[in-house]
Chains A and B, each alone.
Chain A
Amino acid sequence: MHVNYWREVHTSGPGRIGLGLLLLVAIAAVLAPLLTSYQPAAYTGAPFMAPSAQHWLGTNDVGQDIWTRLLYGARTSLAVGGGVALLSLCLSVMVGCSSALLGGLYDRLMMRLVDALIVIPPVIVAILAAAYLRPNTVLLIVLLSLFLWPGGARVVRAQTLSLKERMPVYAARTFGAGQLHLLFNHIIPDLGPILIALMIQDARRAVFMEAGLSFLGICDPTVVSWGKMMQHALKFVYLDVWRWWLLPTGFALSLTVMGFTFTGFALETALNPRLRKEAGHADN
Chain B
Amino acid sequence: MLTIKNLKASYNGLQILKDINLNLEKGQVLSIIGESGTGKTTLGRAVMGLLEGSCTGEILFKGKNLLTCPEEELRRIRGREIAMVFQNVEDGLHPLYSIIYQVMEAVLVHGLKDKKAAEERACEVLELVGLDNRRFLAYPHQLSGGEKQRALIALAVVNNPDILILDEPTASLDALTKAEIIAVLKRFTRETAFLVITHDISTAADLSTHMAVLYGGRIVEQGATGDVLAGPRHPYTRGLLRSYPNMSTTKDLQGIPGRMSHHVEGCPFHPRCTQRIQICAAEAPLPVVEGNRLIACHRGGIVPLLEVRCSKSFGPLKVLQDVECVLHEGETLALIGESGSGKTTLAKTIMGLLKADEEEIRLEGKKVTRRTIDFYQRVQMIFQNPGESISHRMNVLQAVKEPLDIHKTGNEEEKLERVRQVLNEVELPGDDDFLKKYPHHLSGGEAQRVAIARALVLNPKILIADESTSALDASVQAKILKLMMNLQEKRGLSILFITHDLALARKISDRLAVLLKGRIVEEGPTSEIIYHPLHPYTRALLDYAPLLEDRSVRPAGSRWARRACDNSLQAAPGLKRPPSATSKGCSYAHRCLAVKERCFEEKPELIACSPRKVACFYPQVD
Enumerate chain A interface residues (CB-CB to B < 8 A): 1-2, 166-168, 170-178, 181, 185-186, 189-190
Q: Complex: how many Å from CA A170 to CA B383? A: 9
User: Least Cβ distance of B25 to chain A in Å?
Assistant: 53
Do B407 and A175 touch (CB < 8 A)? yes
Do A176 and B390 touch (CB < 8 A)? no
Among B377, B389, B406, B451, the residue within 8 A (CB) of A170 is: B389
Interface residues on B, range: 20 to 34
Q: Known contacts A174-B381, A176-B373, A176-B375: does B389 contact A168 (CB below 8 Å)?
A: yes
Contact with A along B391-428 (1 / 0, CB 8 A): 11110000000110111000000000000000000000
Q: Known contacts A1-B440, A170-B383: does B406 contact A177 (CB below 8 Å)?
A: yes
B376 partner residues in chain A, CB cutoff 8 A: 174-176
User: Least Cβ distance of A259 to chain B in Å?
Assistant: 29
B405 partner residues in chain A, CB cutoff 8 A: 181
A185 partner residues in chain B, CB cutoff 8 A: 402
Known: A171-B451, A175-B458. 18 other contacts (CB 8 A): A2-B392, A167-B389, A168-B391, A168-B392, A170-B353, A171-B383, A171-B389, A171-B454, A174-B351, A175-B376, A175-B402, A175-B407, A175-B454, A176-B372, A176-B375, A176-B377, A177-B406, A185-B402
Q: Complex: how many Å from CA A170 to CA B386? A: 12
Closest chain A residue to B407 by CB distance?
Answer: A176
User: Least Cβ distance of B443 to chain A in Å?
Assistant: 15
Do B375 and A167 touch (CB < 8 A)? no
Q: Is the interface of A mostly helix, strand, loop or mixed?
A: helix
User: Least Cβ distance of B467 to chain A in Å?
Assistant: 13
Closest chain B residue to A185 by CB distance?
Answer: B402
Q: List 27 A-B contacts (CB under 8 A).
A: A1-B440, A2-B392, A166-B388, A167-B388, A168-B389, A170-B353, A170-B383, A171-B381, A171-B383, A171-B389, A171-B390, A171-B451, A173-B353, A174-B353, A174-B381, A175-B458, A176-B403, A176-B406, A176-B407, A177-B402, A177-B406, A178-B406, A181-B405, A181-B406, A186-B391, A190-B391, A190-B393
Closest chain B residue to A172 by CB distance?
Answer: B402
B375 partner residues in chain A, CB cutoff 8 A: 176
Do B402 and A167 touch (CB < 8 A)? no
Q: Complex: how many Å from CA A75 to CA B587? A: 72
User: Least Cβ distance of A157 to chain B in Å?
Assistant: 21
Do A175 and B388 touch (CB < 8 A)? no
Q: Complex: how many Å from CA A153 to CA B390? A: 27
A181 partner residues in chain B, CB cutoff 8 A: 405-406
Closest chain A residue to B377 by CB distance?
Answer: A176
Chain A CB within 8 A of B380 CB = yes
B160 partner residues in chain A, CB cutoff 8 A: none
A1 partner residues in chain B, CB cutoff 8 A: 392, 440
Closest chain A residue to B392 by CB distance?
Answer: A1
User: Least Cβ distance of A178 to chain B in Å?
Assistant: 8
Do B403 and A175 touch (CB < 8 A)? yes
Q: Known contacts A1-B440, A176-B406, A176-B407: does B393 contact A189 (CB below 8 Å)?
A: yes
User: Least Cβ distance of A251 to chain B in Å?
Assistant: 42
Do B353 and A167 touch (CB < 8 A)? no
B454 partner residues in chain A, CB cutoff 8 A: 171, 175
Q: Complex: how many Å from CA A119 to CA B352? A: 39
User: Least Cβ distance of B224 to chain A in Å?
Assistant: 42
B275 partner residues in chain A, CB cutoff 8 A: none
Q: Complex: how many Å from CA A189 to CA B383? A: 22
Do A172 and B406 touch (CB < 8 A)? yes
Closest chain A residue to B347 by CB distance?
Answer: A174
A172 partner residues in chain B, CB cutoff 8 A: 402, 406
Closest chain B residue to A169 by CB distance?
Answer: B391
Closest chain B residue to A173 by CB distance?
Answer: B353
Chain A CB within 8 A of B385 CB = yes
Q: Complex: how many Å from CA A90 to CA B80? A: 95
The 5 closest A-B pairs by CB, nearest first: A176-B376, A168-B391, A176-B373, A175-B403, A167-B389
Q: Complex: how many Å from CA A170 to CA B350? A: 13
Interface residues of B in 317-353 (CB under 8 A from A): 348, 351-353
Q: Complex: how many Å from CA A177 to CA B402? A: 9
Among B372, B380, B390, the residue within 8 A (CB) of A174 is: B380
Q: Known contacts A175-B403, A176-B373, A181-B406: does B390 contact A168 (CB below 8 Å)?
A: yes
A167 partner residues in chain B, CB cutoff 8 A: 383, 385, 388-389
Closest chain B residue to A186 by CB distance?
Answer: B391
Most central of A170, A171, A174 by chain B CB within 10 Å: A174
Closest chain B residue to A192 by CB distance?
Answer: B393
Most central of A2, A167, A170 by chain B CB within 10 Å: A167
Closest chain A residue to B390 by CB distance?
Answer: A168
Q: Complex: how many Å from CA A181 to CA B376? A: 15
B406 partner residues in chain A, CB cutoff 8 A: 172, 175-178, 181
A190 partner residues in chain B, CB cutoff 8 A: 391, 393
User: Least Cβ distance of A190 to chain B in Å?
Assistant: 7
A166 partner residues in chain B, CB cutoff 8 A: 388
User: Least Cβ distance of A78 to chain B in Å?
Assistant: 30
Contact with A along B87-101 (1 / 0, CB 8 A): 000000000000000
B380 partner residues in chain A, CB cutoff 8 A: 174-175
Among B373, B391, B440, the residue within 8 A (CB) of A2 is: B440
